Homo-oligomer: A and B are copies of this chain.
Amino acid sequence: MGIPTVTTPAALIDVDRMHANIARLHAHLDAFGVAFRPHVKTTKCQQVVDAQIAAGARGITVSTLKEAEQFFASGVRDIVYAVGMIPARLPQALALRRRGCDLKIVADSLHTAQAIAAFGREHGERFEVWIEIDVDGHRSGIRPDDDLLIDVGRTLAAGGMTLGGVLAHAGSSYEYDTHDALVAIAEQERARTVHAAQRLRAAGLPCDVVSIGSTPTALSAANLDGVTEVRAGVYVMFDLVMHNIGVCALSDIALSVLTTVIGHQEEKGWAIVDAGWMAMSRDRGTQRQARDFGYGQVCTEAGDALDGYLMSSANQEHGIVSRSGTPDPDIAKRFPIGTRLRILPNHACATGAQHPEYRALTRDGATQTWPRFYGW
């Protein structure tokens, strides 16, 4: 079952590249002696998570309770649900803990802390809660100097919950593209999260865990003093956005979409392929970066990037492949009908989500089917 038998469009994983990406992150973090907790939202795939755990991951991060349920069912106990808890989801979190899952939940408001404590007391459950810290104004969390941090910590502790630690995500790291800027944002993420932990401890509250991370900062951190664990997701596949940020080469990207040429508009220099946005996702994450890859970088079927050839446009099940700048008058000869190409995606999390399964391609040319799940 080699690549010639894979029907298109298909989400291919280059297994060697995936293992190299996993090993690279562990090599970087091992030097600092911190634990690593991958974010499984990127792939939602058992075989990928198995490889991450085999390489030394300690526990996982999830973005939905469905991910927690699926991976707990397959044997992962140590799980952080890294999206702010709401009261309506507490029964589902309780059920997971009652079944033996070491599920940690996250709060960043007094309202939520109170709701967790009240629900926990009512059901005799001592939830472990991590407080989310806002290190860059990117999205959610409590700023490290805000008095609210201590109020939330006390509310949880006084309410009989376990205040497990603090958690931050420097989402703004995606906006940089130089090594120095990434080192600086990684240091900001570290320093502000450690500061929040120190404030909690100074207030007499427990704070064992200091959890930070994003793929750009995890790979760029030059100092992890005070940090106990790092989280990252997309590092396992990489993508064109990560390439533009500067944390991977095109040849590190482990995920691609295999597609077939189905027609041409020769005068326009277009080859039409059978991967549209349904296969690539609508993610145009490189649009506002220095190098816009359209809907993806075109590669040969073997995986070698074809410089200048992009998926320039996409409809639901049609993609348009063309050369940047001047149209290629020989497009129909270069890519005859039936030609198979690989397209590197802008965003591995979004592209993977469009596919019920990955086709994992090993060095010997064999492919395996690795299912993934979706929904909530």
Residue of B nearest to A275 (CB): B376
The interface residues of chain B lying within 8 Å CB-to-CB of A282 are: 281-284, 347, 350
How many copies of this chain does the complex contain? Answer: 2
Q: How far is the CA of A284 from the CA of B347 in the complex (A)?
A: 15
Q: Interface residue count for A (Cβ, 8 Å)?
A: 58
Known: A86-B274, A262-B83, A356-B375. A316 touches B7 (CB 8 A): no
Out of B111, B260, B268, name the residue touching A336 (CB < 8 Å). Answer: B111
- Kindly supply a per-residue 1/0 record for chain A positions 126-162, scoring 1 wherever the CB is within 8 Å of any chain B CB and 0 otherwise: 0000000010010110000000000000000000000
Does the CB pair B109–A63 fall under 8 Å?
A: no
Cβ distance A74 to chain B, nearest Cβ, rounded Å: 19
Residue A192 at the B interface, CB < 8 A?
A: no
8 Å CB interface, A45-101 against B: 63-64, 83-89
Q: How far is the CA of A338 from the CA of B87 in the complex (A)?
A: 7
Does the CB pair A272–B349 fall under 8 Å?
A: no
Residue of B nearest to A138 (CB): B315
Does the CB pair A112–B376 fall under 8 Å?
A: no
Q: How far is the CA of A262 from the CA of B111 in the complex (A)?
A: 10
Q: How far is the CA of A87 from the CA of B336 in the complex (A)?
A: 12
Cβ distance A154 to chain B, nearest Cβ, rounded Å: 19
Residue A317 at the B interface, CB < 8 A?
A: yes
Q: Which of A9, A171, A374 has the most CB of B within 10 A?
A: A374
Known: A87-B338, A111-B336, A277-B350. A315 touches B9 (CB 8 A): no
Q: How far is the CA of A349 from the CA of B317 in the complex (A)?
A: 11
Q: How far is the CA of A279 from the CA of B278 in the complex (A)?
A: 14
The interface residues of chain B lying within 8 Å CB-to-CB of A350 are: 277, 282
Known: A262-B86, A350-B282. A112 touches B337 (CB 8 A): yes
Does the CB pair A139–B272 fall under 8 Å?
A: yes
Q: How far is the CA of A366 from the CA of B63 in the complex (A)?
A: 29
The interface residues of chain B lying within 8 Å CB-to-CB of A337 are: 86-87, 109, 111-112
Does the CB pair A263–B317 fall under 8 Å?
A: no
